[in-house]
Structure 1
Amino acid sequence: MMRNLFLFVAPLFFFLHTTLAAPAPEPQPHPILRQNNQTTDLGSAISDMRRQSYNGFVILLHVLNDTNLFKNAEVTFLMPSDSDLSKADMSQEDLQTFILRHTIPAWLMINHMLRFPNQTLVPSSLPDRMFTITKSGGSGIFVNNARVVDPNICQNSRISCHGISDVITFTRDFFPTAKLPPEMLSPVRGRITSSRH
């Protein structure tokens, strides 16, 4: 009888031992944002942002949660550090405005900005706000008050992003649109064209 019990228990013990001792399968990574089961450009950009520890900006994009805002658009994000974001005065109501005032409605890598004449005006994604791109010798490139400290973080076809030294401020409440050429008053896409070289 003991032998029969042993013959029953031994395979059961072996099965439980190998099953419990086997490592649990690792969870598969999932893209943050999906569209038609394909990773979007925004999802790819968010992954690049996370790799460089711009987690605060990633959280803002997730809280905004409007994937159509940048769908099929070429944009450049100007991302303050987590520390600078923690000091920024923002509320849920103006989160979209905050993101748009840190966005250029065009795909601009750092080499594009380096080719601009000093003090070039570039539209922001807000209709009445303009960025001033300043080249400051050994200090690098400034967008308004913020220096570009981590250029070319995002490495995909539609979205460029750069880490900046501060939250963007504007010297005026608005830019008089009457003085802007018509091409700068058109919708977000097409306001700036940049060659991809």
Structure 2
Amino acid sequence: MILTSATMRSIFLTISPLFFFLLTILASTVTEPRPTPILIRHDNQSSDLVSAISDMRRESYYGFVTLLHILNDTDFFRSQEITFLMPNDEDISQADMTRESLETFILRHAIPAWLMINHMVRFPNKTLVPCSIPDRMFTITKSGGSGLFVNNARIVSPNICQNSRISCHGISNVITFNEDSFPKGRLSPKMLSSRINSSRH
């Protein structure tokens, strides 16, 4: 059977819409899926977290961002002000961590209050502030020309995060705790709150 040019043209016009429709369907199935937003929250802190993570990335604290991303399903800092103390990527890569201890690592590097550097420098030397791990305290030490220390770690990049609920500072080391971090005479929450809030005025 010999197809005339008119017959072939008719077949092409019939098939071509179906062909382009199939191409469209195929293209939609092979496109990259949209990435899941990091740290989705159903409260007002969601936008603060997105903003804070953007600020962390801008200053190349990718390791800390990765830890927060892995802990996407946690809510330990939900609905509260917080200050993150962030070691650099090299220090994080050398830290002794397991998947189960990631949350503890973040909590060991978090103050349950919003503290910018100008708040912290107003504290008296050796001020104790709460850690996000219960019954542990950070010691804020002023060391003259060496700057401000939180326990063993010096603040090297202050005020990285610029929003009203999440503050973050780059630090020189992974934070460790000594005997002073577990005070025998425990400060009451009221005293701690008063000490932190007094720095804002």
State the TM bucket, normalised to the shorter chain: 0.7 to 0.9
The 8 Å contact of residues 115 and 167 in structure 2, kept in 1 or not, is answered as yes
Structure 2 Cα separation of the partners of residues 53 and 106 of structure 1:
24
Aligned residue number for residue 51 of structure 1:
58
Any idea what SS the aligned residue of 1:131 has? strand
Residue aligning to 1:115: 122
Change (3 A) 1:46 1:128: same
> Identity across aligned pairs (percent)?
69
CA–CA distance in 2 between the matches of 1:129 and 1:171? 10
Partner of 1:65: 72
| Structure 1 residue 173 displacement after superposition | 8.8
What secondary structure is seen at the aligned counterpart in 2 of 1:99? helix
2:21 corresponds to: none
Deviation at 1:166, TM superposition (A): 0.4
Deviation at residue 69 of structure 1 after TM alignment: 1.6
Answering whether residue 143 of structure 2 is matched by residue 139 of structure 1, we say no
Is structure 2 residue 181 aligned with structure 1 residue 181?
no
* Structure 2 residue runs without a partner (length 5+): 1-32
What's 1:171 paired with?
178
Deviation at 1:172, TM superposition (A): 2.6
- State the partner residue of 2:197: 193
Q: What amino acid maps onto 1:193 in structure 2? A: N
**Rg bigger for which structure?**
2
Between stretches 123-132 and 66-75, larger displacement belongs to 66-75
Distance in structure 1 (CA, Å) of the matches to 2:43 and 2:85: 28
Deviation of the 1:42 alpha carbon: 1.4
| Unaligned 5+ runs, structure 1 | 1-26
2:106 is aligned to 99
Q: How many residues align?
A: 192
Q: Which amino acid aligns with 1:145?
A: N
Offset from partner CA, 1:48-92 (integer Å, 9 cap, x none): 101110000011111112352212110000000001111111111
Q: Which moved more, 1:108-117 or 1:40-49?
A: 40-49
Match of 2:161 in 1: 154
- Taking the aligned partners of 1:114 and 1:67, their CA distance within structure 2 comes to 31
Partner of 2:29: none
Give the alignment's TM-score, normalised by structure 1.
0.76
Q: 1:182 deviation in Å?
A: 2.4
Higher helix residue share: 2
Aligned-partner SS, 1:85: helix
2: CA distance, partners of 1:194 / 1:61: 30
Q: Answer whether contact 1:152 1:162 (CA < 8 A) is retained.
A: yes
Aligned in 2, Cα 1:39/1:174: closer, same or farther, shift over 3 Å?
closer
Cα distance in 2 for partners of 1:65, 1:33 equals 5
SS in 2 for 1:42: helix
SS in 2 for 1:152: coil
